[in-house]
Structure 1
Amino acid sequence: MPAESNLDVIARLQGVVHDCLKDYVSDGEPVAMVDFPDYKNVGDSAIWLGQIAYLSSRLKKSPSYISSLQDHSHDRLDEAMPSGPILITGGGTFGDIWPGHQELRESILERWPGRLVVQLPQSIHYKSQEHADRMARAIARHKNFVLLVRDEESKEFAEKHFDCRVHLCPDMAFCIGPIQPLAASQFPVLAMLRADKEKASHYDFSAYPDIPVEDWISESRTPVRIAKALGAAKVAVSFNPERIRGAKLEAAAHNRFRRGIRQISRGRAIVTDRLHVHICALLLGRPHAVLDNSYGKVRRFMNAFSGGTDLSYKAASLDDGIAWARHQASMGAAA
């Protein structure tokens, strides 16, 4: 089969997202969206903005309750919307690598047994069977949990261990749609590699002094604070605390997302082990060589959904990825 264009991939995956969610989220009832990613990782902000874009474009609605891990309140959620589905933000936090997010997930299931809770697309990774068993018990007691997963391995694990509805669903960041670069190209090749506990390797760039090596998990707090204040000010006249909180957090997500897009726009071609650099490069239409994270999340997602385009290349090694990216950059420069 011929390779898909990035626009074809985006449109196809947006359709799959809707097919997964249409039976659980409707325009006739309020929704809550919890676990806003109020931290520096640009990829999680991309997920959040895709979730908001889906609700806005498909259902013409915004969440009636929004919270982050730091400010979530079960009581406040009940006050804002006594009924309706609770949506939990997607990402790569389902398991025991990032325990705070898992604890919030389990506490929601415990607080609202029988109420529809939809886990938006996640990659699953457990190091401890005991932790997986604890989640299985929480799901069994709850009885109305829907789990969307981003790869076949996560789906197989979920169907084996959890008594709930499981659907294979693309990452919600695709619902942002195609985007334009926010900076001029400065480098033929830019390496965007993880600097956190999901990194698979300490890559040696001594042979590539001309290639910048960056990550997107550092930021200046001042621009984010200003964005939050401006976002809240735009809706302050509503005197609705939930609407103000939502506008404040959405503004922070936009600020972080723009920072990440400016960053990767500077490379004519990219080498990365981050899933959302891969996804954002597809949204940009930018060629990129892909390595994997510590537990295979990136390749698993590409195998399920996004590996059928000439813009992305599954590199066998750092050297292989750089060689491919340099070739793509040179072709772009010649064009």
Structure 2
Amino acid sequence: MMLGLPKHKMKYTDVNNDSYKLLWNNLSLSKQATFNIIDFLSLDLVHNPEETNKLSPLHTKRSDVIDEAQRIHMNIFKSLLGGYKYAMLFDYSTSENKGDSAITVGETLLLRKLKIEIVFACKVFCTDNQIYRAHNISKNYTSKDLVILFHGGGNVIGWPSSDFSRSKQIKRFMPFNIVMFPQSILTMGPDSHIKFCQKIYASHPKLTFLWRDKVSFELGKKLFPNVRSLLSPDIAYQIGFVPRFMHPTFDILWLKRTDKESPHYNTPAAPEGYRMHVSDWLIWKTHRGDSPMEDSFLKTTNGMMFLQRGRVVITDRLHGHILSTLLNIPHVYIDNKQRKISNYHTTWTAGLDNVVLANSSTDAVEKAKELLIKLDKELPSVKGYFTG
């Protein structure tokens, strides 16, 4: 794993971080000879995007995976946004798709850390009147003070309505830098829509896309050569470590999506002697807050409650994987045709031994059972109600 050709070599033991030292000791001698950790940690990842995920897949502990994701975020976003005092955030999510709301929470927490004030925000999809109002507000700021931010997610190309919404915003904010929080590309749209996206995104001279997996990163560079492409973990990792705060009520909680990204499979019966519940968190409704932004925080917390109902989780949603990682819930994932979860897992979380890819729904149940047996003493026991 070569991280460039530095002129000098520094010993890994010079790094004052126990988790990094342990990782170093676990590397083979050949990898130690080529992996210069001092040089890697000092890289500006905006100028070295190819290097961004060199360390992440080697981490085997959840805490180290999360720490590294947050370190990457701060490295990239301090470089991109460090000079700004104000921001506008477009198309943030308040959806019962708890992963989209978790992205909103991560974006908000990051801006708070960077001490950037949000002077305008509109939830998906921003109306023409809202965009017009934001444009008028922007006249009170210079391009050195204000940055335009697009909500992250997995909707470039694959969900055309999101591209149409961004196309309206791009036209209104030509003088300002625009940064899109980490996204996946889902090339499920027709060729005509891909060409539309290429045209609108090439039209802005100061646009930066962050991609949340290596496949999307490489595809983004190919499809949008005039746009700066960077690599970054999903911004929901800004939420950080979350200890389990409720007891499970099932052995296996199966988060099964029901939209067009579904892998479409039949659900097998629960293993004998185990309780299993299957549903999508879209129907796990959340009480409303006093503002749309508060709704995002409440729905994210509710999503974590949804997942904690299982001692282990099976999921075909990317944020089923990400939030389960934050909660340290062992889980099995089933990929979709776009390989959205495996692309992310390979890029950032491949070293975690409590995350398993299943080849089918039947295989998922077997692997969930294996996790339950293997980790039985480490997992909280099932408590609560029993249905007749």
TM-score by length of 2: 0.76
For residue 138 of structure 1, what is the aligned residue in structure 2? Answer: 200
Matched, 1:217 2:282: yes
2:219 counterpart letter in structure 1: F
Q: Is the 8 A contact 1:291 1:318 kept in 2?
A: yes
Q: SS of the residue aligned with 1:137?
A: helix
For residue 165 of structure 1, what is the aligned residue in structure 2? Answer: 228
- Once the two structures are TM-superposed, the CA of residue 327 in structure 1 deviates from its matched residue by 2.3
Query: Percent of pairs identical after alignment?
Result: 26
Match of 2:93 among 7, 16, 37: 37
Q: Is the 8 A contact 2:331 2:354 kept in 1?
A: yes
For residue 14 of structure 1, what is the aligned residue in structure 2? Answer: 70
Matched, 1:79 2:136: yes
The 5 Å alignment of 1:185-334 reads: 185-206=248-269, 208=271, 210-220=275-285, 223-224=287-288, 227=289, 229=290, 248-334=291-377
Q: Point out which structure has higher relative CO (alpha carbons under 8 A, 6+ apart).
A: 1
The 5 Å alignment of 1:56-75 reads: 56-57=112-113, 59-72=114-127, 73-75=130-132
CA distance in 2, matches of 1:49, 1:301: 20
1:99 counterpart letter in structure 2: P
The 5 Å alignment of 1:103-118 reads: 103-118=164-179
Structure 1 stretches of at least 4 aligned residues deviating more than 6 Å after TM superposition: none
Q: 1:181 to 1:80 in 2, by over 3 A?
A: farther
Q: Is the 8 A contact 1:65 1:81 kept in 2?
A: no
- Once the two structures are TM-superposed, the CA of residue 206 in structure 1 deviates from its matched residue by 3.7
Q: SS of the residue aligned with 1:24?
A: helix
CA distance in 2, matches of 1:81, 1:26: 19
**Looking at CA atoms only, which structure, 1 or 2, has the larger radius of gyration?**
2
Q: Over aligned residues, Cα RMSD in angstroms?
A: 1.9
Q: Is the 8 A contact 1:6 1:311 kept in 2?
A: no
CA distance in 2, matches of 1:185, 1:208: 17
CA distance in 2, matches of 1:3, 1:56: 27
2:149 counterpart letter in structure 1: L
Q: Across the two proteins, how many residue pairs are aligned to each other?
A: 311
Q: Is the 8 A contact 2:270 2:276 kept in 1?
A: no
TM-score by length of 1: 0.87
Higher relative helix content: 1
Q: SS of the residue aligned with 1:107?
A: helix
Match of 1:92 among 128, 140, 154: 154
Q: Is the 8 A contact 1:275 1:297 kept in 2?
A: yes
Which runs of no fewer than 5 residues in structure 2 stay unpaired?
1-26, 28-57, 379-388
Q: 1:322 to 1:68 in 2, by over 3 A?
A: same
